[in-house]
Amino acid sequence: RHLPTTLTFFPTTDPHYERKYYFPRELERSLRFDMNGDDVIVFLHIQKTGGTTFGRHLVQNVRLEVPCDCRPGQKKCTCYRPNRRETWLFSRFSTGWSCGLHADWTELTSCVPGVLDRRDPAALRAPRKFYYITLLRDPVSRYLSEWRHVQRGATWKTSLHMCDGRTPTPEELPPCYEGTDWSGCTLQEFMDCPYNLANNRQVRMLADLSLVGCYNLSFVPEGRRAQLLLDSAKKNLRGMAFFGLTEFQRKTQYLFERTFNLKFIRPFMQYNSTRAGGVEVDADTVRRIEELNDLDVQLYDYARDLFQQRYQYKRQLERREQRLRSREERLLHRAQEAPREEAEEPGRVPTEDYMSHIIEKW
């Protein structure tokens, strides 16, 4: 069905939102996720983006023909396809950290196929199609949330950081602390560590690290490395089947449901009183965090624009399709009523051609 070319797809209903980027091919996409086939959703979980909540939604809150089997006391759920005992979801709460704790794009893309082949050997007969998804968050809020998490004793030191077949050396990735963890660290100490993986975490976890020599900082000059990472992260984000934003829970739910043709049972809730929200920082500190996360700030600005345009595009198409359906129903109703009225007139029986003329005219 052809839509009128005069249709404005991006009505700026939010006065604070203005388009910055042009996405010629990233809005109108045809994606047909086949749960009964060989399609797999792969969730790339970036720390402190609300991924734990979203991951639970995937295994506990999706309306499925065969719901995931989540048993009390067990960290993982079994998410089988309706037609066979084979998983359709690769995530923390379904397959566990099978490619390492908080595996990034570089790790997942090289690891996931092999892991699933070992889990479901019978599936070797058909090639799988992987649909990558992720969540992004405002960089300052995410950074503060990670600091508070580390301050309470979190380390993620069991993360592998695999790249080009090996893990980084201690010289390539020195620790920020001595001892078992960094609990009790101040925000200043957290910001002062030049090796802190919290800096630009979202860009690093979405980029293809092979392009810059993985964690070898001498592989390419610093400025060139930064640009390569940012461009790669943007490219991979555009190529993902779906991404959501922590700050827009309802829109994230809306886009996921319409991307995968799946429905959630309960609506997503927007919790703004997060741990990061409770941290009081001055303007100078915010600027310092933004400087440390300059690549993440640029990526998030880009992602938010793409997210808003995708949402508005979907909403506008839905409204247009609804109006077209209503119009067709009215026309059909009138066409059905017309021959009845004509037949009631004495000495006049409408022919098939006459009927067609009436319908065409209307």
Spatial distance between the Cα atoms of 8 and 145, rounded to a whole number of angstroms: 39
Asked whether the beta carbons of 309 and 27 are under 8 A apart, the reply is: yes
Structure tokens that stand for 208 in this block: 């293809």
Q: For 180, phi and psi rounded to 5 degrees?
A: -80, -30
Given the structure tokens 């070319």, which residue do they identify? 5
Q: Which sequence positions are flagged as catalytic?
A: 102
Given the structure tokens 């047909």, which residue do they identify? 32
Structure tokens that stand for 271 in this block: 């919790």
Spatial distance between the Cα atoms of 87 and 118, rounded to a whole number of angstroms: 12
Give the orientation angle of helix 283-292 with respect to helix 139-151, to 10 degrees. 90
Asked whether the beta carbons of 179 and 311 are under 8 A apart, the reply is: no
Given the structure tokens 């009631």, which residue do they identify? 344
Q: What is the DSSP letter of 361?
A: H
